[in-house]
Amino acid sequence: MLFLFWDIDGTLLRTDRASLHAFQHLLKNQYNKDVNLDKIQTAGMTDCHIAGQLLELVFDRPATPEEVQTLLLRYEAILPKHLAQRQGRILPHVKENLMTLYRLPDAKQMLLTGNTAAGARAKLAHYGLDHYFNFSTSVFGDDCTDRTCIAQAAQRGIERYYASHLTDSHFVVIGDTPNDIACGKAIGAITVAVATGRFTLEQLEEHEADWLLAELPSPAEFETGLRELVAKR
């Protein structure tokens, strides 16, 4: 059994910074603050972490967990509108690969993402990709600032939900940032890195993913490559 954990932003799609524009809108309207989004690190980070960074710039102090969750709830409410306003796109070969893997009897597709659960669903639904994933065994960045702890939660969830299918099973983490590679390695997963986000092939190469790609290949090539990686384990 292949348990495939996908990142979203920079791996499956680009939203033309819809999330950051939604956060920026909230900070202006809720706190009358114009925040320079270039001052914070977003690639590979969880929404919880991003919200905390933004509020620290607003308050000039660390935000409380309650303040972070309030901002995230407001963000989730306005994200669909901002997705509709931006010129995002599905990345090359994504839909074909998701469709092919979805039909395989020995593959399960889930999300391992820094997005909140509601934010992830909004993004994937906007681009018509949400039905390819099992959300009940996916893991999100609602209240965790560390992607490694999210990966560990993903592993525990699979062990509970698919206990009878764990013999000869393999976890695969697919993402576009060093953090995706690191969290995959933290749970002993096969790591696939695609240079379709903010990190170049050369930058990702330093983090030694099991398979490094400029972009997702054709479904036949991708499935073959995954099974070759499994055979080497």
Residues 29 and 67 in one domain: yes
Look-up: residue for tokens 């469709």? 99
Could you read off the pLDDT of 122-170 as tens digits, one per residue?
A: 999 999 999 999 999 999 988 776 777 888 888 888 888 777 667 667 9
pTM recorded for the entire structure? 0.92
Among the three residues 63, 85, 107, which one is the final residue of a domain in this structure? Answer: 85
Residues 22 and 10 in one domain: no
Domain boundaries, position 78: 18-85
- Can you state the angle between helices 147-161 and 178-186, rounded to 10 degrees? 40
Model confidence at 224, in pLDDT bands (50, 70, 90)? Answer: very high
Burial of 13 (0-12, 13-18, 19+ CB in 10 A): buried
Among the three residues 39, 60, 85, which one is the final residue of a domain in this structure? Answer: 85
Residues 6+ apart with CB under 8 A from 56: 62, 63
Out of 95-104, 136-145, 219-228, which region has the weakest mean confidence (pLDDT)?
Answer: 136-145
Residues 137 and 162 in one domain: yes
Residues 39 and 128 in one domain: no
